[in-house]
Structure 1
């Protein structure tokens, strides 16, 4: 009867079968023992496994932009209670919005785009983005620097119904852009903050 004992080795790569500690085979045995590892077996990191089991998945507000198909983008955003605007929860949402907007170099972002179904909008058009356009393009499209503004419970009113076409992209439809008609002049109202 053959006897073989092995050790399981716990490392940052996961569980791994190590070389046999001792083997006792009869001299006439035709058993071949090789210390090889299969290259087609994916070894999961033990730390990744523990992290997945112990830590819960991320919760809103996310540090990424939700993509088309996410239910939060189709649900109706809820108005923010004016008394809660200065509270830590709403301020966390606003700070995350600004961080994500600047990370992805967006002109604007809404709270639902980071997974929070609240009526909050952040807008900014800094010098860096303006410099990417020629002076002719700036003049034709009326582009100017816009400081960071946060609108809570925004309302939109059209001032000039004439439309102009702009090539635009949306971070919630990553990798896609289209020519979009926009009103020449609008007014956005609501509780606004300049930073």
Structure 2
């Protein structure tokens, strides 16, 4: 039996449940490198998929969503962050608003050697967070939804979002990069680790941060 064309799979997905259900850890699609986008979807279908991904990201709610997270093995992600956080958190984490962006075939490289460590979560790993050290500044290259090249530097929390979503397209989850001693449930996060930095958690749980 020949494999179902990706376009047919996307049409079937878009005809089903909305917002699109998020695939959770344990599904092989999250552990396989996604296909490079080279026109597998007609422009109108790609636009419908992007619209549905944006709506599903908002509904989750999240600040990014990669196509494998909805079961589509394509190098495509969307990001958007209103950054509605206290000023102290904004300052420490460099969390500033990000407009809606579409990233097609994204890749990133570090700019400088500085790394920052913060608690991070994932829509595909619900109910848990862990501390991840990531590059504080990255250079992103991608295409936008119109096929126009993107070549831009991101810093702080936007750089973290870019790295997290791009990693999904390589079959990498944030837990692969996390300090596992920091792994915390939603309840523990709310009751213990609401500080802007993970320093207190590092001391109490016995892990190091850069």
TM bucket by the smaller chain? 0.5 to 0.7
Task: Pick from 74, 77, 87 the counterpart of residue 135 of structure 1.
Answer: 87
* 2:21 alignment counterpart: 64
Please give the secondary structure, in 2, of the residue aligned with 1:118.
Answer: coil
Task: Pick from 162, 173, 178 the counterpart of residue 130 of structure 2.
Answer: 178
Task: Pick from 73, 82, 85 the counterpart of residue 30 of structure 2.
Answer: 73
* 1:89 alignment counterpart: 45
Work out the CA distance in 1 between the residues paired with 2:52 and 2:86.
31
Unaligned runs of 5+ in 2: 1-10, 147-210
* 2:65 alignment counterpart: 109
Please give the secondary structure, in 2, of the residue aligned with 1:186.
Answer: strand
Work out the CA distance in 2 between the residues paired with 1:193 and 1:149.
8
Work out the CA distance in 2 between the residues paired with 1:181 and 1:107.
18
Work out the CA distance in 1 between the residues paired with 2:57 and 2:101.
12
Report if the CA contact (8 A) 1:93-1:111 is conserved. no
CA positional deviation for 1:70: 0.8
Work out the CA distance in 2 between the residues paired with 1:59 and 1:160.
44
* 1:166 alignment counterpart: 118
Q: 1:96 to 1:162 in 2, by over 3 A?
A: same
Q: TM-score, normalised by structure 2?
A: 0.58
Structure whose alpha-carbon radius of gyration is higher: 1
Q: TM-score, normalised by structure 1?
A: 0.62
Deviations 1:45-69 (A, max 9, x none): xxxxxxxxxxxxx953561110001
Compare the two structures and name the one with the higher strand fraction.
1
> How many equivalent pairs are there?
132
* 1:187 alignment counterpart: 139
Q: Superposition RMSD on alpha carbons, in Å?
A: 2.1
Compare the two structures and name the one with the higher helix fraction.
2
Work out the CA distance in 1 between the residues paired with 2:107 and 2:144.
11
Larger mean Cα displacement after TM superposition, 117-126 or 89-98:
89-98
Please give the secondary structure, in 2, of the residue aligned with 1:171.
Answer: coil
Q: 1:104 to 1:125 in 2, by over 3 A?
A: same
Please give the secondary structure, in 2, of the residue aligned with 1:60.
Answer: helix
Q: 1:171 to 1:72 in 2, by over 3 A?
A: same
Unaligned runs of 5+ in 1: 1-57
